[in-house]
Chains A and B, each alone.
Chain A
Amino acid sequence: MLNKVLSVENLQKSFKNAKVLKDISFDVREGEIMAILGPNGAGKSTTIRNIMGIMYPDEGSVTFHNHNGNEIPRYKIGYLPEERGLYKNVKVMDILLYFADLKDYPKEKAKQRALDYLKKFDLEGKENSPVEELSKGQGQKIQFIGSIIHEPELLILDEPFSGLDPVSQEVFKNEIKQLAKNGTSILLSSHQMNLVEEMCDRLFMINRGEKVIYGLMDDVKKEYANFKCTIRGKNEQSTLESLPEVTRVEQSDEISILYLTQEVEVTKWLSQLPETLDVQELSVDRVSLHEIFVDIATDQTLAQEVGASNA
């Protein structure tokens, strides 16, 4: 197993009387991409702000393993907050060098890295432009460069894809993967499941300040992404529910979604469907993380249910 870089243990935090974090624990390991997922207001940013020492938890601990002492090793961490921006009336290079200086990174090296990244992100020649002349997407790229200019050991990205067009999303995604490959540990939060699904090694799903799912992406997929069968046609809900291997039926108008158990063998199950069923259309596919996510956000119990049926 890879070395732990960051451990969060039993984090608790309350605002006024509302508990926004309940017993949050997870690790980030060397060179992995770890995702915190959850709907808006689930506690993702709060968790990250507690890690960064911008807020302090009521209870629990945050440990940086390669560092002795209680202080947060800020110069080893790169951070891209959810609410982010840049000073307006300064030059691109100046602000990047300022960020590097705050992290105690040598100026000359920072300059070279900044130029390299500007080139990589298709911003070559922009180093002397004032920030206010950049487009929103260009600004986001500069912020991203700012967060990695000092070669951080741990990179924390809060909603890195929000507000990006698909092309920039792709650029960011590749760069994040590349950084992880080179040994940077990455903790990112997002509510865009489709993007995260392809790139992260492990995930921590959170809702209302509580852990919902935590584990390797592959395991999670195997465990939670069961098959479901979507049928268009007029059928009684009770008939469908009486079919074997069906855990739950969702019906609206003529569309029925049948959630199947984990053990189901799809071809066998299909061949034993009764001839009396009204089938205009039929499709079988896996429950995606996206659906689990939406269920959580809308407070349904799909994940728990599927989880429970496996137990």
Chain B
Amino acid sequence: MRNSLKVARWEFKRNVRNKTFIISLFITPLIFLLFASAPTLLNHLGDDEESQTTVYLNDQIGVYEALEPMFEESELVSWDVQETPNEPSDMTETISQADDAAYIILNEETLETGTITYMTSDDLQGSFENQLGVLQQPIKQTQLQSAGLSQEQLQLVQTPIEYEAFEQETSGGTVPQEEIGGFPYESAIPAIFAGLVLFSIVISGMMIFQSASQEKKDKVAEIILSSVTTSELMQGKIWGYFSLGILQVAVWITMALPIALWRLEDVPVLEYLFVPETLLLTFIAVLGYLLFAALFVGLGATIEDYSTSGNFQGMVMMLPFLPFIFIGPIFSNPEGIVAQIGTYIPFTSPAVLIMRLSILDEWPWVEMLIGLAILIVSIWIFMKLAGKIFQIGILIYGKNATPQEIWKWLRA
């Protein structure tokens, strides 16, 4: 155990000082941030181009006062409204010569026929008609008012039909109202945290693969093995990269938390984060790491040169990404058969469980316990197998092991 810790400390130290690791440590969250904010940024860029629309409004029926706040609030239109007493015939020239300009006339005729007459510059043709939709409701209201409807009747006409499901009696009482925007922050935050932990340590778990393979290539293994046993070396690597993964998460969280606190002002992020669920989900993530770490450390010991390794090893490397195919089915039906199967396959169960537990209000305890039991047994089996492969593989120089050879080592 003491020797494992020495190896772990060494692996940690030499990677932390490695430039590539440091760069990726800080670059990865920035890339995430870029990808997360790029769509919004691009949207804003698009907005800027549209915001210049100058709208000349000839309001003869006095609705502008009611319209003004709507123009300001609406996300669909960004108009610079200028009132004008000019008739359409006077405006033709101004509009046709201007860029991004439109003219609207609202008069008695508009109210009678329900037709809004407008005119746009060449470049606005087509797109402007959609934006005119904002006028629909206030014009209708004015129309109805002038038709002599009472305030009550007006209310009735304007209230759309709503739908409400009949509340069934449940033991748990009423479900708490979801937060702003309908996003379930309360259950999502622990899941996002655990997902981040899982992602980060699986990534650093893949570094174990490289490390074991490099150890073989550099031929250091036998020197190290004169001081420690193979299982100590293997465990040391697993713990070393585990702590690297945790460091990674810590750095990412310290970078992300202030941003989250700032962007989600109304959400008590910290309160939602420090709950027992976070602990359980993180525990599941750690189990996931141990499984993949065992897989990768064994696999790494079979490969000296990754570029000439066969499909077999490449396929194993893809296993951590298997849960991605479950994302769609799980979010559409977290109790469905796909979700259940995903819970029982050790390679997918950590990610699948984290996803399901964060969506479901009622946790499927039995399924979860069976899934976790399978996972823990698998970890134990994989550690044993990895130990066997590692012990032989790490000392074989000059070639990659074939699946047949690996099979032979496992049976030895």
**Are the chains A and B members of one assembly?**
yes
**Interface positions of A (Cβ within 8 A of B):** 52-54, 74-75, 77-81, 83-90, 94, 98-99, 101-103, 143, 146-147
| B14 & A75 in contact (Cβ 8 Å cutoff) | no
Size class of the B contact interface (CB-based, 8 Å): 20 to 34
Cross-interface CB contact of A79 among B214, B223, B397, cutoff 8 Å: B223
Q: A74-B227, A102-B6 are in contact. Are A83 and B14 (CB under 8 A)?
A: no
Cα distance A142–B6 in the bound complex, in angstroms: 21
| A84 & B3 in contact (Cβ 8 Å cutoff) | no
| B227 & A81 in contact (Cβ 8 Å cutoff) | no
User: Within 8 Å CB of B219, what residues of A?
Assistant: 81, 83-85
- Is B10 located at the chain interface by the 8 A CB criterion? yes
- Is B61 located at the chain interface by the 8 A CB criterion? no
Cα distance A270–B318 in the bound complex, in angstroms: 79
Cross-interface CB contact of A83 among B214, B228, B397, cutoff 8 Å: B397
12 contacts between A and B (CB under 8 A): A52-B225, A54-B222, A78-B226, A80-B223, A81-B223, A84-B220, A86-B218, A87-B214, A99-B223, A102-B6, A102-B227, A147-B223
Closest residue of A by beta carbon distance from B13: A94
| A83 & B10 in contact (Cβ 8 Å cutoff) | no
Closest residue of B by beta carbon distance from A156: B226
User: Within 8 Å CB of B227, what residues of A?
Assistant: 74-75, 99, 102-103
Cα distance A287–B227 in the bound complex, in angstroms: 41
| B223 & A89 in contact (Cβ 8 Å cutoff) | no
Q: A84-B222, A84-B223, A146-B223 are in contact. Are A89 and B6 (CB under 8 A)?
A: no
- Is B18 located at the chain interface by the 8 A CB criterion? yes
Cα distance A143–B223 in the bound complex, in angstroms: 9
Q: Which of B189-231 contact A (CB under 8 A)?
A: 214, 217-220, 222-229
Minimum CB–CB distance for A212 against chain B, Å: 26
Minimum CB–CB distance for A153 against chain B, Å: 14
Cα distance A87–B229 in the bound complex, in angstroms: 18
- Is B338 located at the chain interface by the 8 A CB criterion? no
- Is B395 located at the chain interface by the 8 A CB criterion? yes
Minimum CB–CB distance for A114 against chain B, Å: 15
Minimum CB–CB distance for B392 against chain A, Å: 10
Minimum CB–CB distance for A103 against chain B, Å: 6
Cα distance A81–B7 in the bound complex, in angstroms: 19
Give 1 or 0 for each of B1-39: 1 = CB within 8 Å of chain A CB: 001001100100110011000000000000000000000
User: Within 8 Å CB of A90, what residues of B?
Assistant: 14, 17
Q: Which 6 A-B pairs have the closest CB atoms?
A: A85-B219, A79-B226, A102-B227, A81-B222, A85-B218, A83-B219
| A74 & B10 in contact (Cβ 8 Å cutoff) | no
Closest residue of A by beta carbon distance from B228: A102
User: Within 8 Å CB of A103, what residues of B?
Assistant: 227
Cα distance A163–B294 in the bound complex, in angstroms: 36
**Interface positions of B (Cβ within 8 A of A):** 3, 6-7, 10, 13-14, 17-18, 214, 217-220, 222-229, 395, 397
Cα distance A83–B3 in the bound complex, in angstroms: 23
Cα distance A94–B10 in the bound complex, in angstroms: 9
Cα distance A201–B217 in the bound complex, in angstroms: 35
Q: A83-B397, A84-B219 are in contact. Are A89 and B226 (CB under 8 A)?
A: no
| A86 & B220 in contact (Cβ 8 Å cutoff) | yes
User: Within 8 Å CB of A80, what residues of B?
Assistant: 223
Q: A85-B220, A86-B218, A88-B218 are in contact. Are A52 and B226 (CB under 8 A)?
A: yes
Cα distance A112–B207 in the bound complex, in angstroms: 34
User: Within 8 Å CB of A74, what residues of B?
Assistant: 226-228
Cross-interface CB contact of B225 among A54, A75, A78, A86, cutoff 8 Å: A54
Closest residue of A by beta carbon distance from B225: A54
User: Within 8 Å CB of A86, what residues of B?
Assistant: 218, 220
Cα distance A104–B395 in the bound complex, in angstroms: 24
Cα distance A110–B7 in the bound complex, in angstroms: 18
Minimum CB–CB distance for B283 against chain A, Å: 32
| B18 & A83 in contact (Cβ 8 Å cutoff) | no
User: Within 8 Å CB of B223, what residues of A?
Assistant: 79-81, 84, 99, 143, 146-147
| A98 & B226 in contact (Cβ 8 Å cutoff) | no
Minimum CB–CB distance for A251 against chain B, Å: 41
User: Within 8 Å CB of B6, what residues of A?
Assistant: 98, 101-102
Minimum CB–CB distance for A57 against chain B, Å: 15
Cα distance A143–B229 in the bound complex, in angstroms: 19
User: Within 8 Å CB of B226, what residues of A?
Assistant: 52, 54, 74, 77-79, 81
Cα distance A36–B229 in the bound complex, in angstroms: 25
Minimum CB–CB distance for B388 against chain A, Å: 14
User: Within 8 Å CB of A87, what residues of B?
Assistant: 14, 214, 218, 220
User: Within 8 Å CB of A99, what residues of B?
Assistant: 223, 227
Most buried by B among A98, A99, A103: A98
Closest residue of B by beta carbon distance from A147: B223
Cα distance A146–B7 in the bound complex, in angstroms: 16
User: Within 8 Å CB of B395, what residues of A?
Assistant: 54, 83
Cα distance A87–B224 in the bound complex, in angstroms: 11
Closest residue of B by beta carbon distance from A146: B223
Closest residue of B by beta carbon distance from A101: B6
Closest residue of B by beta carbon distance from A131: B218
Cα distance A52–B230 in the bound complex, in angstroms: 12
Minimum CB–CB distance for A145 against chain B, Å: 12
Cross-interface CB contact of B222 among A77, A83, A88, cutoff 8 Å: A83
Closest residue of A by beta carbon distance from B227: A102
Cα distance A131–B8 in the bound complex, in angstroms: 20
Cα distance A98–B222 in the bound complex, in angstroms: 14
User: Within 8 Å CB of A146, what residues of B?
Assistant: 223
User: Within 8 Å CB of A83, what residues of B?
Assistant: 219, 222, 395, 397
Cα distance A78–B224 in the bound complex, in angstroms: 11
Minimum CB–CB distance for A55 against chain B, Å: 8
